[in-house]
Amino acid sequence: MKTALVLDDQTAYTRALARSLRGSLEIVGAETLQRARDVLRPDMAFALVDICLSTAEITNREGLDFVRWLREKAPGICIIAMSAKDDPDIPAMSIHAGADRFLSKPLKMTELRQILADFEEKSS
């Protein structure tokens, strides 16, 4: 079974993703950048990265730093950036930082599953 790292400061959101993807992906959750770096494993196929990790700071974009770092450390991983913020610049900034795709939260599970399947097909 493939493994996905989910970096999101909302633990409940990570749990909901894990329930929705049960059987197709093992989810390893992280709430902070440091925790995400600590739990990253070479066998991880996917990373779902919340771009705006702090709800207290409206301009927070810590997830972009992680996307850049992750693209360098794990070039083969499929990075899906995500955000609930209504900021028209975030999708382009995410792709520019190295994300393969950007999805608005709440995620549409059919769309996410299709992206995961397409990436698996390309990498096999």
CATH of the domain at 25: 3.40.50.2300
DSSP 1: -
Contact 83, 90 (CB under 8 A): yes
Give residue 63's domain range: 2-123
Reading the chain (124 residues) residue by residue, the pLDDT tens digits are: 899 999 999 999 999 999 999 988 999 999 999 999 999 999 999 999 999 887 555 566 889 999 999 999 999 999 999 999 888 999 999 999 999 999 999 999 999 999 999 998 888 7
What is the number of other CB atoms lying within 10 angstroms of the CB of residue 93? 18
- The total domain count for the chain is 1
